[in-house]
Structure formats: structure tokens, C-alpha cells
Amino acid sequence: MEEKQYHITIQLNGEPRAFTVGEQETLLHVLREKAGLTGAKKGCDLGECGACTVIMDGRAVNSCCVFAVSADGKRVETIEGIGTEEHPHPLQQAFIDAGAIQCGFCTPGMIMAAKALLDRNPHPTKEEVRQAMSGNLCRCTGYEKIEQAIGMAAEVVARYAQGKGEQA
């Protein structure tokens, strides 16, 4: 029997995008195969590695474990929506500056998990950083440089927020 199809709309990186999806189809599949956004990676496909992390309505989620139908009407942010090569997000710049990238496979998921953290808690403690990143695995770097990068980005984000506050 053919899988039932649903029409959904996602606010994807700020733009409304409509998709027709199967009942069992994951958000990760829609992002990679239908939206052409291949930044979120398919690692374990089991909710264990965090390579597929995106932000849905302000929360970091493993997109391999989210049914696309449940993303209907939600805001989804992917790595493609947060910075460009010319204007990287402070987290992207900090990962480069701290040498927190080797093969890079885990990096988009790491950055999205870190962004979700800094969006809700701009001054996380080391322990809070560790906890927020505990679902994201990296086979290459060790985690010290990643934690360092998040600390550096937090400082930049805080300075930027302060600057904006002063101007207001």
C-alpha cells in the first residue's frame, strides 16, 4: 500500500517552504533531499550522533528523529540560514579560529546545538556547554577546542548584544 502523503509548510530559515511528505518521512530527509540543504548530516540516523541537529522553534533537535509532518507550521533553522562564507556567524568564525574543525562532518550539528544554547543562555557555564553539547559526537577533535570555540563565540555575541543595547 502506498504511504499517505501530507502537505506541510515549514518556515525554513525565515522563508515559508511547502513540501509534500510521507507519514514516515523525517525532517532530515526533507531538508537534504527536497530542500537541497545538505548542511545537516546523516550520521547514525538513530538520534545518537547529533550530526543532523537543526533548531526547531528555538530548540535543538535531531532532525533524523523528527517526522516531517510534525514540523508543519514550525520554524526550522539550519546551518545554511545562519551565516555565509563572506559573513560567517560568530560561532562559525570561532570554530575556525579555535581549530575546532577537522573533517567537519559533525560541525554543522555542533554549531546548531551551540547556537540553540547561546540563543537561550548567552553566558553559559562550562558545565552548561558540556550538557548542551552532550548529544553531539565528534570523532576528530576532542571536545576541548569545541568548548573553547563556543566560549569565544559567546563573548562575541555578548559584545554585539551590548553594543546594540548601547546604541538603542
DSSP-based three-state secondary structure for 74: coil
Phi/psi-derived region of residue 73, left when phi > 0, alpha when psi is between -120 and 50, beta in every other case: left
Q: How far apart, in whole angstroms, are the C-alpha atoms of residue 87 and residue 16?
A: 23
Compare residues 40 and 157 and give the one whose CB is closer to ligand FES.
40
Applying CB under 6 A, among 3, 23, 33, 48 the residue interacting with ligand FES is 48
Please pick, from the candidates 38, 102, 119, 148, the single residue that binds ligand FES as defined by CB under 6 A. 102
SS3 label, residue 5:
strand
What is the contact mask toward ligand FES in residues 50 to 89, using x (rule: CB under 6 A)? Answer: xxx---------x-x-------------------------
Query: In the set 66, 115, 118, 141, which binds ligand FES (CB under 6 A)?
Result: 141
Helices 144-167 and 90-97 cross at an angle (nearest 10°) of 140
Closer CB to ligand FES, residue 103 or residue 161?
A: 103
Cα distances (Å, whole numbers) of residue 37 to 66, 106, 156, 163 = 16, 15, 27, 33
Stretch that binds ligand FES, among 46-54, 76-84, 86-94, 157-165 (CB under 6 A): 46-54
Burial grade of 53 (CB within 10 A; 0-12, 13-18, 19 or more): buried
For residue 160, the minimal CB distance to ligand FES (Å) is 26
- Nearest in space to 64 (alpha carbons), one of 109, 125, 97, 101: 109
Q: Which is nearer to ligand FES, 22 or 47 (CB)?
A: 47
101 sits near ligand FES (criterion: CB under 6 A): yes
99, 140, 144, 155: which one binds ligand FES (CB under 6 A): 140
Q: Which residues bind ligand FES (CB under 6 A)?
A: 42-45, 47-52, 62, 64, 101-107, 138-141
